[in-house]
Structures are given as structure tokens and as C-alpha cells.
Amino acid sequence: KPSRKQTRPQSSPVSLPCFRNTTILPPEFFQIDALDLAPHLLGKFLRRDDVVLQITEVEAYRPNDSACHGRFGVTARTAPVFGPGGHAYVYLCYGLHTMLNVVADKEGAGAAVLIRACAPVCGLETIQERRGQQTEKPILLTGPGKVR
């Protein structure tokens, strides 16, 4: 049985002047099995406003997995995970943590890859403000619920 959790060593924060020359991944990139997509997401970048993060740890979830939100079918809460691969799926875990997932596979599959950890590339000040912590240590974005 393949392992679901994939990890890449943390990298140090790097200040880059801009990310204008990067390309957005096409929808087809995400429309594969979650177990195949997960390792392909390692090292990729997430960007929102002035914050750029590099994905360092992921975890794949398929519909037959007891921890997958898609295991019981489509509900109002889980409908986004049944969309086409490539969409963001964010849910509130235990009423405390927002968990960022990337929908995997074709529309209707109900699979996703949880973004467990990232390394800051740009926008460290914004990340620190969001956390209320003035540290450059990797704890800012390690573990699910911290990537925001």
C-alpha cells in the first residue's frame, strides 16, 4: 500500500523581487489520481497577493480513504472536493483550523491533496502579521491549518 504522506526538507526563506515570469499550471496537471498528484505538487509555488510559498509537505486523499471528505458522497460541505482537479478546497477542521487542499482527479472523483506545510519565499512580513509571531523559523507554515 503506497504511503499517502510526502515530505520534502524545509528550505530557508528567500526574498525574490517578483514572480511575474512564472506560469500557472494548466488544469490537466491536477486531473490525475491524488496519489500521483501529491509528489508532483512538492516544490511548486502558491501565491496570494505579496505572499509566495513553496509546498514542502502534502498528503493525498482518495474517496476510498476513511479520512477523505469524499468518502460519503456529495454534501453541501464537501461539494467542492467533487469539482474538477485544480480547484482549492478549504475546510474548517475541528472548528479551529482552515485546511487547504487541492482537488485532484476528474470532476466527480471526490479526491484531494492536503497542503500540510510550506516554506515562505516572499511576503514573510505578511505571514508574520497573520500569525502574530515575529520569527523566521519554519513553524510559521508547518503542519496543516497554518498555510494561509
What is the set of domains in the chain, with CATH numbers?
27-146 (3.10.300.10)
Q: What does the pLDDT look like over 94-130, one tens digit per residue?
A: 777 788 999 999 999 999 999 999 988 888 888 888 8
Q: What does the pLDDT look like over 22-64, one tens digit per residue?
A: 788 999 999 999 999 999 999 999 988 888 999 999 999 998 9
Give pLDDT, residue 3: 47
pTM, entire model: 0.80
Give pLDDT, residue 110: 94
Neighbouring residues of 75: CB distance < 8 A, sequence distance ≥ 6: none
Which of the 8 DSSP states describes residue 63? Answer: T
Mean model confidence pLDDT for the chain: 82
Q: What is the mean pLDDT of residues 2-26?
A: 57
Q: Which of 73, 119, 75, 69 is nearest to 91 (CA)?
A: 69
Q: What does the pLDDT look like over 55-93, one tens digit per residue?
A: 999 999 998 988 888 888 999 888 999 999 999 988 888
* 115 close to 55: Cβ distance less than 8 angstroms: yes
Q: Which of 23, 41, 44 is nearest to 32 (CA)?
A: 41
Answer yes or no: is pLDDT of 15 > 70. Answer: no
Give pLDDT, residue 30: 97
